[in-house]
Amino acid sequence: MRYLLSSIAALALSTGLAQAQAQTDVPDNLEKLSAFQTTGVTDFTFVEQGGDYAEGIKKNLERIKMPPGFKIELYAVVPDARHMAVGPQGIVTFVGTRKDKVWSVTDRNKDRVADEVKDFAPSLRFSIPNGPCFSKDGFLYIAEQNRVLLFPAAEFFYESPDVAAFNLVKQGDLIPPEEESFNHTARVCKIGPDGKIYISLGQPFNVAPPEKLDLYSKVGIGGMIRMNLDGTGREVYTYGIRNSVGHDFHPVTGELWFTDNQVDGMGDDIPPGELNRQTAMGQNFGHPWYGGGDVRTNEYAGQEVPVDVVMPAVEMVAHAADLGMTFYTGNMFPEKYKNAIFSAQHGSWNRTTPVGARVMVTFIDDEGNATSEPFAEGWIDENGEYLGRPVDVAQLRDGSILVSDDLAGALYRISYEGN
Amino acid sequence: MRLALILGLGGVLLAQAGLAEELPGDPEAGRKKAGQCRTCHGLNGFAQIPIAPHIGGENPLYIVHQLTAFRDGTREHEMMSVVAKALDDQSIADLAAWFSSQSVTATLPAGATEDMAPEACVGCHGADGIALIEDAPNLAGENVVYIETQLKAFRTGKRVNDTMTGIAAELSDADMNAAADWYAAIKLDIPPVK
């Protein structure tokens, strides 16, 4: 990470094993921040925005192909950039990672390029804080491996290292701690039209084993849970998901749509990836009996499927790794993009010839039929090497969209200039 | 700063027998086979995604043991179990030879000295996170979550190792945090492959 200008090198280092023992009274600073106390942490880590690294990214963006009239530019250098939450005031965008940081990205002078990228709430110890999301009234939620924190008025308080923070779901309560894993643990949250928070919980296996299924159904692992914004009323909303890393609600119907990553090791061209549409609470989307689409898994081959399964709205190319998505509600793009889905394909990891690493657009007709096509592509070079791996798509208030990339460590902005 | 240059000339000094570790690995053959590793681990073994460890400059025996364990099902990971199933002993030996032939440099952050390193770890993993024994991985520059995940897996029994199972059983969450912080803060460099 040579592009990190670290101002807190000493912080992480002052803790040897012995010293850490003394800190166990306060496992992290959440208690202090919940009581609006200061923690003594004063330094931010700032990410350099210019220089050779940014130039290299800009050069790669010249290869990206999009429909006529669209333009893609580097918006910010953000290490390990995963899912994004754009503040309702349009001041700051929060970006999660699969490591231990959340980044705040600010465009102060509104030239549509970020001026400042620094870590959010540096006195807190995050663990896989992949999924930030905002409520309409400016509460920031961050879904981690096994906790969900909420930050009131984060868009205004993030300038201070000490920002008021509270548990929505306290450490160890999102899933049983013995079920924790690193893979398939990039959680995504969004607030639904019903004012509840919807959180995806991937199951950690390639194919979930039979002995886990009862527990998973109960907790909502391999599914999606929802709860009220005060943490009450938790319930499992969706079943039969393998590993969903992106969801959003249709702006008109309010229905939940989500991507799901499908089973590996069955061949280069099966099973298909999925974009799903859920029309009622409690629907089951087929894992582990189905590996993707109507392809049955080897592990459950021939077994009777004990549930009614909803098949995907769109079958995506196999192994492309469909991740973050957003419905487009802006006014900048041509009319046909209104209420379309923009979604990111991270790209395959062990397919013989890599596929994905692009932004897809999905159009939904009046009857609810959906068709997907590539929107922005070119992040796989002629050697089959990744120049970038898109993760999530979010809409800015001006109607342009941001795309995050956790390989390049960047946010891109796609705007429409017209004919 | 210390330069660790580990030559991947295949299995020498073997204590325990296993098929792949008795085979001499060919780094160039391994390089060709590493195409299936590089999306996550990088062609030079410098990890491209947080859930994957850096494996460039690793001791060849450690790589052989882990790939064999994934293949045999004694270690499980939803991605690695899929990949390793397709590897024969020669491929494992070649991949181990390729990745271990990468030179790695570990640099402590400013203000840190080796005596601040976590006591329970340094005997095998080194103060700078470059392993001192054959069957231990380098930890330099691995991210915090990766190290903690592995330590917790040893503590719960999801991952098993004669040495680590016992050590992890004695560690609190705070100990694990501290050990992970120490090694994650060390800068690891692996030159890109031409």
pLDDT per residue over A112-135, tens digit each? 999 999 999 999 999 999 999 999
- Backbone dihedral angles phi then psi of residue A313, each to the nearest 5 degrees: -70, -35
Contacts of A69 (CB under 8 A, 6+ apart): A334, A416, A417, A418, A419
Q: Give B78's contacts in chain A (Cβ within 8 Å).
A: 183-184, 204-206, 264
Q: What percent of chain A has pLDDT over 70?
A: 93
* pLDDT in the model for residue B23: 84
Between A12 and A305, residue with greater pLDDT: A305
What pLDDT digit, counting tens, does each position of A354-363 carry?
Answer: 999 999 999 9
Q: Give A97's contacts in chain B (Cβ within 8 Å).
A: 50
Taking CA atoms, A79 is separated from A4, A28, A220, A313, in Å, by: 8, 23, 30, 33
What pLDDT digit, counting tens, does each position of A52-83 carry?
Answer: 999 999 999 999 999 999 999 999 999 999 99
B120 reaches A (C-beta below 8 A): yes
Taking CA atoms, A231 is separated from A17, A173, A224, in Å, by: 35, 11, 15
* pLDDT in the model for residue A33: 85
Choose among B66, B122, B47: nearest CA to A98. Answer: B47
Spatial separation of the C-alpha atoms in residues A117 and A105, rounded to whole Å: 5
Q: Give A206's contacts in chain B (Cβ within 8 Å).
A: 78-79, 81-82
Q: Give A127's contacts in chain B (Cβ within 8 Å).
A: 144-145, 148
Q: How far is B13 from chain A (nearest CA, A)?
A: 33
B46 reaches A (C-beta below 8 A): no
Taking CA atoms, A178 is separated from A215, A284, B80, in Å, by: 12, 25, 21
Q: How far is B16 from chain A (nearest CA, A)?
A: 30
Q: Which of A9, A23, A350 is closest, CB to CB, to B109?
A: A9
* pLDDT in the model for residue B46: 97
Using the beta-carbon criterion (under 8 Å), do A204 and B117 form an inter-chain contact? Answer: no
Q: How far is A314 from chain B (nearest CA, A)?
A: 25
ipTM: 0.85
Using the beta-carbon criterion (under 8 Å), do B145 and A178 form an inter-chain contact? Answer: no
pLDDT at A20 over 60: no
Taking residues A180-198, what's their average pLDDT?
96
Tokens 């062609």 belong to residue: B43
What pLDDT digit, counting tens, does each position of A86-120 carry?
Answer: 999 888 999 999 999 999 999 988 899 999 999 99
Q: Which residues of A touch B (CB under 8 A)?
A: 6, 9-10, 12-13, 15-21, 23-24, 27, 80, 97-100, 125, 127-128, 145, 178, 180-184, 204-206, 264-265, 347-350, 354, 384-386, 406-407
Spatial separation of the C-alpha atoms in residues A199 and A247, rounded to whole Å: 9
* pLDDT in the model for residue A25: 37
Contacts of A117 (CB under 8 A, 6+ apart): A46, A47, A49, A76, A77, A78, A103, A104, A105, A106
How long a stretch of residues is chain B?
194
* pLDDT in the model for residue A419: 60
pTM of model > 0.80: yes
Instruction: Using 70 as the pLDDT threshold, list the residues of chain B that sit under it.
Output: 1-21
DSSP state of A335: G
pLDDT at A1 over 70: no
Contacts of B86 (CB under 8 A, 6+ apart): none
Kindly tell me the sign of the dihedral angle through the C-alpha atoms of A217, A218, A221, A223: positive
What pLDDT digit, counting tens, does each position of B147-183 carry?
Answer: 999 999 999 999 999 999 999 999 999 999 999 999 9
Average pLDDT, chain A: 91
Using the beta-carbon criterion (under 8 Å), do A98 and B145 form an inter-chain contact? Answer: yes
Using the beta-carbon criterion (under 8 Å), do A100 and B82 form an inter-chain contact? Answer: no
* pLDDT in the model for residue A405: 98
Using the beta-carbon criterion (under 8 Å), do A182 and B144 form an inter-chain contact? Answer: no
3 state SS of A279: coil
Using the beta-carbon criterion (under 8 Å), do A21 and B181 form an inter-chain contact? Answer: no
Spatial separation of the C-alpha atoms in residues B88 and B66, rounded to whole Å: 13
Taking residues A286-293, what's their average pLDDT?
98
